[in-house]
Structure 1
């Protein structure tokens, strides 16, 4: 069982508890240390409630005291803090699991690039939505040409949180209300959709046309539309919004091919719907004749007992544990589900060029 420490991810955060549960669901990891919050009371409450034995007031102290006792550190701080922490952990050769997005800008990508060595360091970004079994099934079917030549892909992530914030947490946090050249909504939501598009197509877009809008009271970008073009001829569309009433977290994938199309909604994650050129429509789930999702890992409970967000996260943590096995045994890292610096760099570049496109009101090459 690998020993983890958390930097950030307290009881007050959105990401902390899902990471804590998912990392330990299949007994591949144990959280043994943390610097969960800069608020002393919250930090203490988190460690007490989660029964984490080693607690530190600062992440710097955690690194200094625990660097020789840990197998990896999970970064769950607000995005603007990631770069500084990542560089320090790389200098100490500590394996890193970083909540997406890796960083906030191309400048921060360049700063990490100066110290990151892919042959020496372990750095993965936790893009959890591709952990859903039916999304992995869809990837397999696209790769096997079951949809034919892919013509276009549409990904949507509409939320209502800037008009109707969730009551369970203090939202929005102050750090989410500060836009850089890449707006925070693109870092927050767009990083997920870039990852999913690449995960399914195994191709990066070559051009982007983006338009931004602000509809809420917060004076930040809260609605983003991107049109994408790929060298293979695929057309794409990405829509992000935090001002779409009625959508709690409306993650939605549509892939259209010459033989068939596929639809997947996160709110109904067990089902994958296909429409064929014959006019026939079918819906498959974990109980169907499937090739990827018959893996025991994706069937902690039998079909008919839905697996959801935490389970998809646990799937990813299993994949990361397998990659740590390879890393510590000096074996090639070869998971098709675990993504590192290069993928994160490409995502930040897409989001940067989208901002350039919005600024210039024209198609921008990536």
Structure 2
């Protein structure tokens, strides 16, 4: 039985949203022990967060640089082994770089970095150090998303022809960034979020999900990117026609001004023989249709799913699992990779089912290609590499 992975955290103070999500996900299967953290750029706020989490005060740090430096000096059996980075986008690259270069593995919230250039640099550091980097594209963690991917990969749908993915939200329909909303403020600030607003925040999720399930990379984009809320500095709405490998085509929509919508992510993939549909609001179901067979609804936790799906479900059929469990599945696979690395059994990230640095690069390239296509007068823009 593998030991717990000792985890440090950068960001995720008490008033942050995503930090607590990561902590819950890491704790769910008992595979991680949070041992230290630099939870805020404010040393006082970091200290208060550490106290609330009952951490040893000597291992609650005022900055990520201090944390990585001091943890590196601890005996191997005491120091953290991996770092969870849950900061706004502009504070992804430097702590990830420093952690990897000091021998620590990294799990990082998406998008991977502030820019495509940074993402490519980080991939080089991953390759040169040999350490592991996981990216929390959450929706790849859902068991029925993995089942859909399995069905595509094993040819049950035939050659893929059409892919539709949509991610409507409504929470930025008004200028929340002008009302002191912390989440809205940094996500709409180009100096903190990067070049993309909605396309970086949720468009990257939609593009990643389409590629993950279909097994096909996007090759060309024809995009329409908009800003609807007056004086907003980054996009809040987008749509695109897509071209994939193997002549498949698709449609992507990602918007944060669909008033009334929550996180209504949907994916449909159609091949020559049939199609599948997954809806985030009913994540335990996968809808399967064929040309000459009955409409089927496959359910999580059942014995008829692919054998590889079983380890990603924790409860019997009919007991709902959702967002936190999907997050936890990425942490679970990350732990397995780190544990194998520690025991000398790690060979390749391809042996584990979680997004990595290459997915992160494609996410940043998606943002840049969407923006370039939106400005272009030609119909199709080649996907950046």
Q: TM-score, normalised by structure 1?
A: 0.92
Distance 1:209 1:102, change over 3 A: same
Aligned residues: 364
Match of 1:256 in 2: 270
Distance 1:359 1:284, change over 3 A: same
State the 1:51 CA deviation: 2.0
Match of 2:382 in 1: 365
Distance 1:311 1:110, change over 3 A: closer
Q: TM-score, normalised by structure 2?
A: 0.88
- Correspondence for 2:82 among 69, 72, 76: 72
- Correspondence for 1:104 among 99, 114, 117: 114
Q: Is the 8 A contact 2:47 2:62 kept in 1?
A: no
Deviations 1:290-347 (A, max 9, x none): 3237855344222111001111111111111111122223321343412222221122
The correspondence of residues 267-278 of structure 1 with structure 2, limited to 5 A, is 267-278=281-292
Give 3-state SS (helix, strand or coil) of 1:232's partner: helix
State the 1:11 CA deviation: 2.2
Deviations 1:179-227 (A, max 9, x none): 3773122221122122212211222111111110111243421001121
Distance 1:104 1:75, change over 3 A: same
Q: Is the 8 A contact 1:80 1:104 kept in 2?
A: yes
Match of 1:7 in 2: 10
- Correspondence for 1:179 among 174, 179, 190: 190
Match of 1:229 in 2: 243
Give 3-state SS (helix, strand or coil) of 1:182's partner: coil
Give 3-state SS (helix, strand or coil) of 1:302's partner: coil
Do residues 324 (structure 1) and 338 (structure 2) align?
yes
Distance 1:234 1:336, change over 3 A: farther
State the 1:287 CA deviation: 4.9
Tell me how far apart the structure 1 counterparts of residues 13 and 243 of structure 2 sit (CA, whole Å): 40
Q: Is the 8 A contact 2:41 2:62 kept in 1?
A: yes
Tell me how far apart the structure 2 counterparts of residues 27 and 97 of structure 1 sit (CA, whole Å): 17
State the 1:95 CA deviation: 1.0
Q: Is the 8 A contact 1:157 1:252 kept in 2?
A: yes
Q: Is the 8 A contact 1:137 1:290 kept in 2?
A: no
- Correspondence for 2:256 among 230, 242, 245: 242
Do residues 120 (structure 1) and 130 (structure 2) align?
yes
Q: Is the 8 A contact 1:319 1:335 kept in 2?
A: no
Tell me how far apart the structure 2 counterparts of residues 282 and 30 of structure 1 sit (CA, whole Å): 41
Tell me how far apart the structure 2 counterparts of residues 119 and 203 of structure 1 sit (CA, whole Å): 29
Match of 1:341 in 2: 357
Tell me how far apart the structure 2 counterparts of residues 336 and 113 of structure 1 sit (CA, whole Å): 17
Deviations 1:126-177 (A, max 9, x none): 21211111111111111111112211111111101112669xx935442211
Give 3-state SS (helix, strand or coil) of 2:218's partner: coil
Q: Is the 8 A contact 2:24 2:324 kept in 1?
A: yes
Q: Is the 8 A contact 1:227 1:238 kept in 2?
A: yes
Tell me how far apart the structure 2 counterparts of residues 263 and 65 of structure 1 sit (CA, whole Å): 48
Tell me how far apart the structure 1 counterparts of residues 304 and 229 of structure 2 sit (CA, whole Å): 43
Tell me how far apart the structure 2 counterparts of residues 308 and 111 of structure 1 sit (CA, whole Å): 34
The correspondence of residues 15-30 of structure 1 with structure 2, limited to 5 A, is 15-30=18-33
Unpaired stretches in structure 2, ≥5 consecutive residues: none
State the 1:266 CA deviation: 0.9
Match of 2:99 in 1: 89
State the 1:41 CA deviation: 4.8
Deviations 1:221-250 (A, max 9, x none): 100112111230110221111100121111
State the 1:12 CA deviation: 1.7
